[in-house]
Amino acid sequence: MAVLSLDNDADSHRSSKQVTVLAGATSDIFIVGVEKPTISVFPGAGGTAKAQVSISPLSDIRIEAASVNWIDWALGDVAVDSSDVPLGVINAVRFMATTQDAVCEVAG
Q: CA–CA separation, 96 vs 101, rounded Å?
A: 9
Amino acid at 43: P
Once rounded to an integer, what is the mean pLDDT over residues 88-104? 94
Q: What is the pLDDT of residues 49-68, one digit of tens each?
A: 999 999 999 999 999 999 99
In the chain, the percentage of residues whose pLDDT exceeds 70 is 87
Topology of domain 3-107 in CATH is Jelly Rolls (2.60.120)
Q: Kindly tell me if the per-residue pLDDT of 108 is higher than 90.
A: no
Is pTM beyond 0.85? Reply is: yes
pLDDT band at 16 (very low <50, low <70, confident <90, very high): confident
One-character DSSP codes across 43-88: EPTT--EEEEEE-S-HHHHHTT-TT---EE-TT-SBSS-EEE--SS
